[in-house]
């Protein structure tokens, strides 16, 4: 008999040689597992049980369960494609955070009608409830098999493996090279939808052939699929690329350079308001603001190590007076050069230096995505230089400051992720331990949920990442608090301690919003373009009923502008209904209607965003009202 010890403390004896499917049938639970972890390793439910085994059943609700489910759905799709288009070559089809995809070599490409045919064939395969069976072959035999099938991409992958034995998964007339694990059968995949088609270079290399990538999503039941598709519709409505165009915030011009953002007047005002608030808050919290160059000599990047480990993300050098200069991918070496201009005592520390520094990093054209993935961006960078005694307080203060900023910006669902020392690292062990402990204590003090990634830190120091959830529940990695034991050594940084000796300072990198471009993209989607009053690039649009109110409307706009209110006028010779409808589409907080009565009474008929009925206010009353709204929100 085999003894199964479950993670909930229960045990079960079952005949040796039975599978996990037999175990699940014995348990007869409400939830339907999709895989299991045996002695810590994720396995198929068709795995045979022997001896004493630690068992944790994995459901679709867990990240591992979704990965297994979606990976199996990608194989289901590939099988359907091969049935319908036997000439197509398959390449890879992984699960991803948002579902799954599979890349196919189909020279003429897929059409929307093809997707519908593929979905129908997938339904047939699900109805057939075909067992999904794991097989193992020698690498040589697997190469022979896929060569016979004409699957050139699988052969290429196999030729690069060093394993003598490889695993394959077979479901009826379809077989694929895969590590697994997978679902027991195709019948588990009850609900799915193919979402889109895109081009993708084989292995992500622009020098390789362009393949056809089909994205999809799958769930155990139709209700979950319907809810997800509704969610995707909401995501589509909030797409910052569409809103950016509709609200006239920014543009991208491929003919002038992909991944580079052009801020229009309204987008520029939004960014200016955000950056002004950012600076004011940093001054309040003891930071000084730096401005540093956009380029630096190769020797700087050699000393920092960027030319050794980051060169592929840097642009080609330019020759200036016979020396190579690189456009900066990061601000840190420049801040360090400023640190080196003075001799620092322990009494001078901590130093908190921040910069809205524009950097440039190479990204492949295929991954560029509106404001979220760009080649040139402004980073809200900061570096803190402190003594060991100050380190814990500084980390707590950085975290407190970060959480305050996120609260004002409208994000309250925040989780911390702590990455600790990897096997290969630089810096003394005691400094790593002290740094990690300070990060952990700061998170605990703020009572944040925390997930620890043991050994997942960068080679030069541990870090905390703060991930925030937006209005749709999507998680975004934002604030980073990162220790650096590498650059202080490379640049030989020191301060004079109370003992009169040189000591190495702790250096902490801190990006709060990260990229300003990316943050504004996230912010736009979070608010669906309906920015809070204090952030809105236009806080009120004034519309006149007729031409006789035009001069009064212009004078009123000037009066509001002098009070610091961001105002726009619509004096077009259109109907008032048309102008109000257009203002609503601009998603401004307030629309001010000026008719004959309002002009006589020095008033504004104020229509608040989301409301139908206007409220008439005296001009001074409205100024006090909107200024109070701004103060309350900040």
Q: Is 379 part of the annotated catalytic residue set?
A: yes
SS (H, E, C) 449-462: EEEEECCCCECCEC
Q: Fill in the DSSP letter of residue 366.
A: G
Residue 122 phi, psi dihedral angles, 5° rounding: -60, -40
Q: Is 294 part of the annotated catalytic residue set?
A: no
Contacts with 165 (C-beta within 8 Å, 6 or more apart), sequence order? 136, 137, 138, 139
Q: Fill in the DSSP letter of residue 252.
A: E
Question: What is the rounded CA–CA span in Å between residue 471 and residue 412?
Answer: 10
Options 43, 238, 271, 332, the catalytic residue: 332
Phi-psi region of 393 (alpha: psi -120 to 50; beta: other; left: phi over 0): alpha
Question: What is the rounded CA–CA span in Å between residue 472 and residue 168?
Answer: 38
Options 79, 171, 212, 379, the catalytic residue: 379
CA pseudo-torsion sign 157, 161, 165, 169: negative
Q: Is 463 part of the annotated catalytic residue set?
A: yes
| Strand stretches in 59-209, DSSP E | 89-90, 95-96, 99-105, 133-138, 165-171, 174-177, 191-201
With DSSP H G I counted as helix, E B as strand and the rest as coil, what are the percentages for the chain, rounded to 5? 40, 30, 30
Contacts 24+ apart (CB under 8 A), 498-503: 498/346, 503/346, 503/387
Q: Is 361 part of the annotated catalytic residue set?
A: yes
Options 238, 375, 509, 607, the catalytic residue: 509
- For 511, the enclosing helix (H) or strand (E) is strand 506-515
Options 75, 213, 361, 587, the catalytic residue: 361
Residue 513 phi, psi dihedral angles, 5° rounding: -90, -15
| Lookup: tokens for 83 | 């049935």
- In 3D space, the residue among 99, 97, 58 whose CA is nearest the CA of residue 191 turns out to be 99
Asked if 64 contacts 42 with a C-beta cutoff of 8 angstroms, the reply is yes
Contacts with 176 (C-beta within 8 Å, 6 or more apart), sequence order? 75, 78, 90, 93, 154, 168, 169, 170
- In 3D space, the residue among 51, 57, 49 whose CA is nearest the CA of residue 29 turns out to be 57
Options 43, 46, 89, 463, the catalytic residue: 463
Q: Is 489 part of the annotated catalytic residue set?
A: no
| Lookup: tokens for 8 | 């909930």
* CA-angle at 73, arms to 136 and 191, nearest 5°: 145
Residue 541 phi, psi dihedral angles, 5° rounding: -110, 125
Residue with tokens 């008999």: 1
Options 266, 282, 352, 383, the catalytic residue: 383
Asked if 243 contacts 524 with a C-beta cutoff of 8 angstroms, the reply is yes
Alpha helices by DSSP H, 85-131: 112-128
C-alpha atoms less than 13 angstroms from C-alpha of 565 in its C-beta half-sphere: 27
Options 67, 103, 176, 381, the catalytic residue: 381
Phi-psi region of 370 (alpha: psi -120 to 50; beta: other; left: phi over 0): left
Asked if 545 contacts 573 with a C-beta cutoff of 8 angstroms, the reply is no
| Lookup: tokens for 317 | 């050098």
Q: Is 276 part of the annotated catalytic residue set?
A: no
Asked if 514 contacts 379 with a C-beta cutoff of 8 angstroms, the reply is yes
Asked if 74 contacts 94 with a C-beta cutoff of 8 angstroms, the reply is yes
Q: Is 319 part of the annotated catalytic residue set?
A: no
Q: Does residue 45 have a cis bond before it (omega within 30 degrees)? A: no
Residues annotated as part of the active site: 332, 361, 379, 381, 383, 463, 509
């Amino acid at each position: 008999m085999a003894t199964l010890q479950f993670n909930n403390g229960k045990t079960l004896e079952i005949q040796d040689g039975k599978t996990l499917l037999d175990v699940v049938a014995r348990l007869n639970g409400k939830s339907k597992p999709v895989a299991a972890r045996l002695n810590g390793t994720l396995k198929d439910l068709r795995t045979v049980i022997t001896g004493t085994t630690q068992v944790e059943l994995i459901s679709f609700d867990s990240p591992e369960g979704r990965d297994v489910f979606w990976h199996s759905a990608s194989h289901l799709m590939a099988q359907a494609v091969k049935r319908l288009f036997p000439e197509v070559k398959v390449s890879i089809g992984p699960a991803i955070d948002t579902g799954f995809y599979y890349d196919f070599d189909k020279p003429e490409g897929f059409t929307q009608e093809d997707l519908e045919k593929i979905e129908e064939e997938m339904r047939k395969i699900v109805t057939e409830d075909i067992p999904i069976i794991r097989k193992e072959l020698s690498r040589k035999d697997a190469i022979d098999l896929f060569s016979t099938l004409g699957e050139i991409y699988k052969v290429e992958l196999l030729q690069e493996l060093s394993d003598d034995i490889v695993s394959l998964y077979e479901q009826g007339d379809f077989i694929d090279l895969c590590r697994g694990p997978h679902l027991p059968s195709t019948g588990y995949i009850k609900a799915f939808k193919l979402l889109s088609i895109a081009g993708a270079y084989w292995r992500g290399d622009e020098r390789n052939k362009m393949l056809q990538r089909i994205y999809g999503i799958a769930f155990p039941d139709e209700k979950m699929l319907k809810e997800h598709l509704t969610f995707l519709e909401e995501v589509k409505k909030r797409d910052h690329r569409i809103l950016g165009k509709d609200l006239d915030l920014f543009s991208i011009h491929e003919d002038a350079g992909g991944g580079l953002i052009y801020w229009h007047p309204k987008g520029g005002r939004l960014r200016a308001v955000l950056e002004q608030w950012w600076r004011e808050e940093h001054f309040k919290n003891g930071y000084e603001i730096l401005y540093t160059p956009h380029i630096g000599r190769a020797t700087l990047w050699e000393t920092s190590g960027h030319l050794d480990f980051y060169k592929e993300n840097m642009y080609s050098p330019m020759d200036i007076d016979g020396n190579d200069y690189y456009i900066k991918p990061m601000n840190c070496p420049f801040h360090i050069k400023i640190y080196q201009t003075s001799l620092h005592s322990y009494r001078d520390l901590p130093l908190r230096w921040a910069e809205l520094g524009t950097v440039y990093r190479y990204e492949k054209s295929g991954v560029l995505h509106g404001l979220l993935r760009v080649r040139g961006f402004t980073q809200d960078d900061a570096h803190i230089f402190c003594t060991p005694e100050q380190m814990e307080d500084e980390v707590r203060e950085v975290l407190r400051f970060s959480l305050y900023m996120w609260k004002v910006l409208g994000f309250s669902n925040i989780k911390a992720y702590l990455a600790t020392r990897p096997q290969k690292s630089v810096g003394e062990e005691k400094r790593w331990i002290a740094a990690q402990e300070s990060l952990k204590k700061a998170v605990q003090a703020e009572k944040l949920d925390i997930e620890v990634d043991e050994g997942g830190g960068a080679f030069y120091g541990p870090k905390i990442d703060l991930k925030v959830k937006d209005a749709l529940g999507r998680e975004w990695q934002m604030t980073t608090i990162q220790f650096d034991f590498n650059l202080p050594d490379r640049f030989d940084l020191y301060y004079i301690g109370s003992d009169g000796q040189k000591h190495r300072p702790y250096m902490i990198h801190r990006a709060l919003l990260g990229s300003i471009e990316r943050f504004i993209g996230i912010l736009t989607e979070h608010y669906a373009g309906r920015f809070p009053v204090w952030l809105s690039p236009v806080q009120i649009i004034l519309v006149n009923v007729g031409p006789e109110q035009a001069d009064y409307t212009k004078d009123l706009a000037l009066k509001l502008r002098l009070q610091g209110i961001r105002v726009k006028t619509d004096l077009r010779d259109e109907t008032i209904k048309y102008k109000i409808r257009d203002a609503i589409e601009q998603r401004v907080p307030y629309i001010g209607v000026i008719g004959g009565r309002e002009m006589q009474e020095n008033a504004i008929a104020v229509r608040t965003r989301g409301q139908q009925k206007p409220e008439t206010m005296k001009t001074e009353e409205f100024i006090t009202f909107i200024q109070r709204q701004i103060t309350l929100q900040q």
